Structure 1
Amino acid sequence: MDKKPYLLLNAFLAKKEHASLNIADFLKDNAQVNAYELDSQHELEGKLFVKVPEAKKPKWSGFTEKLTGVSIDELGNQSSSAVLIIKTNDYTMAFTFGYGRFLIDTKYFIQDFGIKTALNTLNHDSLRSVDLYTLEDQAVQKKSQASRESGVGIFGIDISKDVLRAVTGSPKAGVDLKNISGGDSVFSFGIEINVDEISDLVSVLAGYYNNDSYKDGFSWVDNIRRVKENSEIDKLNDKLVDALKNDQSKISITIPEIIQWDTIWGFSFTRNKSSINPTIEEKHYFNHLDLISLSIESIKRDRLFVYDTYENENEYNMYKCMYFEFKESDKTYILFSGFWYEIDNSFMSRIDSSLEQIELSTLPFPKVYAWDEIEDGKTKSKIETEGDYNERAANDHGYYLLDKKLIKSDRTTTAIELCDLMTEDKQFIHVKHRKGGSAGLSHLFAQGSVSAEVLLGDRNFRKVTRKVLKKVKVGLQDSVSIDGFKSDGVEVVFLILGEDSISLKENLPFFSKVNLTKTHENLTQRGFSVSVAGVEKEERPSA
């Protein structure tokens, strides 16, 4: 018997609702291809489409030809791309070659076919690499590669905020494929196969997709899914426009990246740029919208302007600044940093349940001052800085001021604060404005978590901390022993300025909820108590 040829294939499974489309309709409208009928002896329904070749010189050819003074014909690149589309009684599948994936219109294909099929066919202890989106202040792409086949635990995945994009590994027992890789809609693999076996392969791959065996080790991948299909994004964007027209209370505006909050003094919006406020006031944007002509395109043209103390002005695409969350059926959809995510409602329920376990602090805190000032003939809104607020809270309630008192640790890359405020009862209070949305809050939770963990685990840090505390008040250093320090009786308090305690947990953006619950879980497992508090704004008293 002749040995079957070995092929590396990339497969895409079409959605069943598009089964009636003509085969050529699965290609992009602008695809420049030659179509080839399949030999009737194979009894296959389908076509092969090959991209019309186009010779291109690389961008650096001009530099090299200038060096030589002559045209270098060998530098002409000509790539080959093809796509084979096969229809069976039950499925339509595309197999791409070269850059053939760029010939098909992905809106007709199942978005998670690649990643789910890979997880259903891989030996979960044979992983070689994983690609992730980590969702914190913004989506960060990560690729991790192991030096040998490994289980998922080696990659340090955080199932509460990591979105699995792609995975590679070896097949599990009974799967007659090799070199498996899957991400989003594309499933890649090696196989020894004859042409006449293509129809059977379509059914086999569809069967691998249509089971849930991946849930034995990867059920968490259903927690969060990034929405990539344009038609689905368009529907979700319509929901956003509808909410802007009818229920703006469901939308908040945040800065889509980490910035140096201590240097920021104001914000304004397109069509109301001269009205600068110390916090992001959504109503100043919403009230100036032209609701009749409102569209996603007009939102993307709008800008959030950010001003710092050095008189620099930065601007952000308003669409990327919007946080919008709504429920539909058994899913929750979130617009975050310009991307849509689908959150499983059971996962949402677990996060909300975890939030309920976090206590509200019983400590008294003053409200944060806000006022208007006239500068250069213009009225500008102001809000108390964190530093000024911390100093006032310390004076009003007898707290100890530790703001900006940095302590070095061998376990952190930079010196850190023990906390902003402290009580004699070993309550470490970390303070942050709500004015910038989720980015500042994530920094707040991380600050409290790192400080507590270093305090517990770094003897030298405790030694230096005692010196700092003694300078603040003699005897305060007894709160932190050099040896035998225990977390029992130590409370970490997160204080958010500009948000009432009662509504605080409910009004957090989803990914801030995730970060807070994760921080609470980590610290309570180490024996710390954790609580949150919020204070509203009030008019600053006259001098």
Structure 2
Amino acid sequence: MTLLNVYLFKRKPDDLRSYITEDYRSRSVSLRISGCDQVIFSFKEPEDTAPQWYDFLSSHIAKESLPQSLTSPSAVLIVEVNNSIFALTFGPAGRYMVELSHIVNDFGLKVCLNNIASDKIKTVDKRSLEQLSIHTKQQASSPVDFNAFEIEIDRDLIKSVEGHLENSFAKYLKGSSSLTIRTEKPLEKIATLCSELLTNYRKKTYQADFGWIDNVKLITDDQITLPLENLLMNKLKNSDFTELFLGAPEIIDDAKVDSYSFSGQRGNFVNTFPSIESYFSFFKTKKEQEEAKGSTLDLSLEILKSHRLKAYEHEATKPGKSLKRNEVYSWTVFECLNGEVISKGKTYKLLEGNWYEIEQKYLQGIETTINSIVHSNLPLPAMGFTEKEGAYNVRASAALKAACMDQQFIKIAGRSKFEFCDIFTNDKHLIHVKKHTGASSISHLLYQGHVSGMLFSQEPNIRTEISNHGVIAYHKMAGKVRPVVFKASDYKVIFAIAVKQKKPLSKILTFFSKISLAHKYKSLTARGYQVEVQIIPMK
């Protein structure tokens, strides 16, 4: 039984070696395998121990083309079968030997969803389609129904799944951009296996149980993605970052990561994940350095795909020795870039280096939910353009004769502190206020309101703590926070957004923010709350 990691490429190149990263092309050798049109093999530099996969390949590799002792732990096999190109990677570093910019990014996921029964899922990796994105990997102790993972189909993007098969071409599958497969087929049957995988990728079986994944559909057609990339570059060149941000394209182990830096940023390390503004500060410095040499450096898609963001961990050193940083993650800046582009009336999202088209019916459903939210008409004063939110909340609270709860954190034993709201009125209105500065500000607003609402409704001891808070006691509102019988329907959660230009809510929010608002609205109303929004003008 052999464990293979398989990638599918988008198109046939002039030379199969171009699908191997540059560092390993010089080590590549040609092989002949029955049923394959072309086969290229490359390996990582020798190590001290023999790899587990060597016996699987040894019968087809010419001895004279290899070092005397092949002890590399990683390798890649590029295979052409019926004009389709596949990469089979081996060992922990095998995937870094493949030019991932050319792969079909939903290959492994589609093969899995087309073959694993919906009640035989073992693991799901998902991320929420929000600015404050939550990336989660869940694993069941044994295969279970997909619904056990509590996927929220209106806001979750499935990154990968894995499970076991019965009476099929493999015993185990794990799929994301690549496909991990446990198979009994020998190397001589690799052409047959690749053909089976391609057939299984092209099936539409997944639509019966998982058709909703096409709500956010991966785009691989260059005729669509190239114009989108041009629109993206125009935004970046005009320093329009309002709906763009950087995020890690995979789950990272924060316990390992001590610092980050962009490639070539010697000695300049930061302790938190860099922002898009910090990248452009780095780019500006690089551009000035090149100009000082008499060269030029212009922003381009190629630059975004060549500049890398790296994460490091510290390695323990002996006293008196300089600190050594070990690289634990590395991504291109383009892979970390997330954003939104509108083209020809359609909405597209850039996530983790891939373009997705938002299905129109799905988008319309989100818009319908947004448009159904009642607009509050509280007499909130206008916010000054340069006025701080804290100062505004004090002033607005006075105007409403309400309690200002801004920065009044509630602390409960065994829980993280949280803000109850920014303004609490005698009419039991929990008002959360935020100046609109982009999708991240809206994400923070909605997150605060949702966390507060959930904790307030389900934790009596939290209501007790809030009722004892000095501000609440001063305004004599303890009974409104801790009634004899608590009913969420007696309370109204209001998301108040301060904007510079008066526009309909659907024109103010990005797609990410719309998904988040729709989700928080449904969640809070299901709990029993009344939920409203209010637009605060800025003057």
TM over 0.5: yes
What residue is the counterpart of 2:467 in the other structure?
466
What residue is the counterpart of 1:487 in the other structure?
488
What residue is the counterpart of 1:515 in the other structure?
516
Is the CA contact 1:138–1:256 (under 8 Å) kept in the aligned structure 2? no
Cα shift at 1:368 = 0.9
Match status 1:355 vs 2:370:
yes
Cα shift at 1:257 = 7.7
What residue is the counterpart of 1:168 in the other structure?
162
Structure 1 residues 53, 444: CA separation in 2 closer, same or farther (over 3 Å shift)? closer
CA distance in structure 2 between the partners assigned to 1:515 and 1:251 by the alignment: 20
The code of the aligned residue for 1:169 comes to G
Structure (1 or 2) with the greater strand fraction = 1
Is the CA contact 1:504–1:533 (under 8 Å) kept in the aligned structure 2? no
What residue is the counterpart of 1:220 in the other structure?
212
The code of the aligned residue for 1:136 comes to E
What residue is the counterpart of 1:447 in the other structure?
448
Is the CA contact 1:358–1:531 (under 8 Å) kept in the aligned structure 2? yes
Is the CA contact 2:104–2:220 (under 8 Å) kept in the aligned structure 1? no
CA distance in structure 1 between the partners assigned to 2:8 and 2:298 by the alignment: 38
Is the CA contact 2:219–2:357 (under 8 Å) kept in the aligned structure 1? no
Structure 1 residues 249, 536: CA separation in 2 closer, same or farther (over 3 Å shift)? farther
The code of the aligned residue for 1:181 comes to K
The Cα offsets for residues 64-123 of structure 1, whole Å up to 9 and x where unpaired, read as xxxxxxxxxxx99633524151423x7444444445555554455422111110111112
CA distance in structure 1 between the partners assigned to 2:500 and 2:131 by the alignment: 19
The Cα offsets for residues 276-308 of structure 1, whole Å up to 9 and x where unpaired, read as xxxxxxxxxxxxxxxx96645789999xxxxxx
Number of aligned positions between the proteins: 449
Q: Name the SS of the counterpart of 2:111 in structure 1.
A: helix
Question: Which of 328, 340, 347 does residue 332 from structure 1 map onto?
Answer: 347
The code of the aligned residue for 1:388 comes to A
Is the CA contact 1:233–1:340 (under 8 Å) kept in the aligned structure 2? no
CA distance in structure 1 between the partners assigned to 2:333 and 2:378 by the alignment: 37
Q: Name the SS of the counterpart of 2:233 in structure 1.
A: helix
What residue is the counterpart of 2:115 in the other structure?
121
CA distance in structure 2 between the partners assigned to 1:155 and 1:342 by the alignment: 23
CA distance in structure 2 between the partners assigned to 1:93 and 1:76 by the alignment: 23
CA distance in structure 2 between the partners assigned to 1:344 and 1:450 by the alignment: 28
Cα shift at 1:165 = 2.0
The code of the aligned residue for 1:163 comes to L
What residue is the counterpart of 1:65 in the other structure?
none
Is the CA contact 2:74–2:89 (under 8 Å) kept in the aligned structure 1? no
The Cα offsets for residues 197-222 of structure 1, whole Å up to 9 and x where unpaired, read as 44443332222111122223323333
Is the CA contact 1:120–1:209 (under 8 Å) kept in the aligned structure 2? yes
What residue is the counterpart of 1:7 in the other structure?
2
CA distance in structure 2 between the partners assigned to 1:23 and 1:441 by the alignment: 46
Is the CA contact 1:227–1:340 (under 8 Å) kept in the aligned structure 2? yes
Q: How does 1:98-177 map to 2 (within 5 A)?
A: 98=91, 101-139=95-133, 141-171=135-165, 173-177=166-170
What residue is the counterpart of 1:431 in the other structure?
433
CA distance in structure 2 between the partners assigned to 1:232 and 1:369 by the alignment: 42
Match status 1:211 vs 2:193:
no
Structure 1 residues 200, 56: CA separation in 2 closer, same or farther (over 3 Å shift)? closer
Match status 1:342 vs 2:334:
no
What residue is the counterpart of 1:504 in the other structure?
505
Match status 1:46 vs 2:41:
no
Q: How does 1:285-296 map to 2 (within 5 A)?
A: 295-296=300-301
CA distance in structure 1 between the partners assigned to 2:381 and 2:364 by the alignment: 33
CA distance in structure 2 between the partners assigned to 1:420 and 1:53 by the alignment: 57
Cα shift at 1:361 = 1.0
What residue is the counterpart of 1:311 in the other structure?
none
Q: How does 1:226-265 map to 2 (within 5 A)?
A: 236-242=228-234, 252=242
The code of the aligned residue for 1:406 comes to F
Match status 1:384 vs 2:387:
yes
Is the CA contact 1:359–1:532 (under 8 Å) kept in the aligned structure 2? yes
Is the CA contact 2:496–2:534 (under 8 Å) kept in the aligned structure 1? yes
Max radius of gyration: which structure? 1
Cα shift at 1:318 = 11
The Cα offsets for residues 411-430 of structure 1, whole Å up to 9 and x where unpaired, read as x7233333221232222111
The code of the aligned residue for 2:358 comes to D
Identity of aligned residues (%): 26
CA distance in structure 1 between the partners assigned to 2:247 and 2:106 by the alignment: 28
CA RMSD, 1 decimal? 4.1
What residue is the counterpart of 2:420 in the other structure?
418
Which blocks of at least 5 consecutive residues in structure 2 are unaligned?
Answer: 50-68, 249-276, 285-296, 308-331
Is the CA contact 2:108–2:179 (under 8 Å) kept in the aligned structure 1? yes
What residue is the counterpart of 1:379 in the other structure?
none
Which blocks of at least 5 consecutive residues in structure 1 are unaligned?
Answer: 1-5, 59-74, 259-265, 274-291, 303-316, 371-382, 539-543
Match status 1:181 vs 2:194:
no
Q: How does 1:23-38 map to 2 (within 5 A)?
A: 26-28=19-21, 31-38=25-32
The code of the aligned residue for 2:523 comes to N
The code of the aligned residue for 2:397 comes to A
Structure 1 residues 195, 237: CA separation in 2 closer, same or farther (over 3 Å shift)? closer
Is the CA contact 2:405–2:420 (under 8 Å) kept in the aligned structure 1? yes
CA distance in structure 2 between the partners assigned to 1:208 and 1:529 by the alignment: 47
CA distance in structure 2 between the partners assigned to 1:523 and 1:414 by the alignment: 20
The Cα offsets for residues 37-81 of structure 1, whole Å up to 9 and x where unpaired, read as 426xx4x243332325633579xxxxxxxxxxxxxxxx9963352
The code of the aligned residue for 2:475 comes to K
What residue is the counterpart of 1:541 in the other structure?
none
What residue is the counterpart of 1:282 in the other structure?
none
The Cα offsets for residues 8-56 of structure 1, whole Å up to 9 and x where unpaired, read as 33333344x53x85655654565134434426xx4x2433323256335
Structure 1 residues 22, 446: CA separation in 2 closer, same or farther (over 3 Å shift)? closer
TM-score by length of 1: 0.70
Structure 1 residues 407, 27: CA separation in 2 closer, same or farther (over 3 Å shift)? closer
Is the CA contact 1:163–1:226 (under 8 Å) kept in the aligned structure 2? no
The code of the aligned residue for 1:11 comes to V
The Cα offsets for residues 132-191 of structure 1, whole Å up to 9 and x where unpaired, read as 3344335554333222222333434333333222222101x442311211111x222122
CA distance in structure 2 between the partners assigned to 1:84 and 1:254 by the alignment: 36
What residue is the counterpart of 1:401 in the other structure?
404
Structure 1 residues 514, 28: CA separation in 2 closer, same or farther (over 3 Å shift)? same
CA distance in structure 1 between the partners assigned to 2:181 and 2:78 by the alignment: 16
Cα shift at 1:242 = 4.0
The Cα offsets for residues 350-400 of structure 1, whole Å up to 9 and x where unpaired, read as 222211111211112111123xxxxxxxxxxxx222221112112223333
Q: How does 1:361-372 map to 2 (within 5 A)?
A: 361-370=376-385
Structure 1 residues 502, 151: CA separation in 2 closer, same or farther (over 3 Å shift)? same
The code of the aligned residue for 2:527 comes to R
Q: Name the SS of the counterpart of 2:406 in structure 1.
A: coil
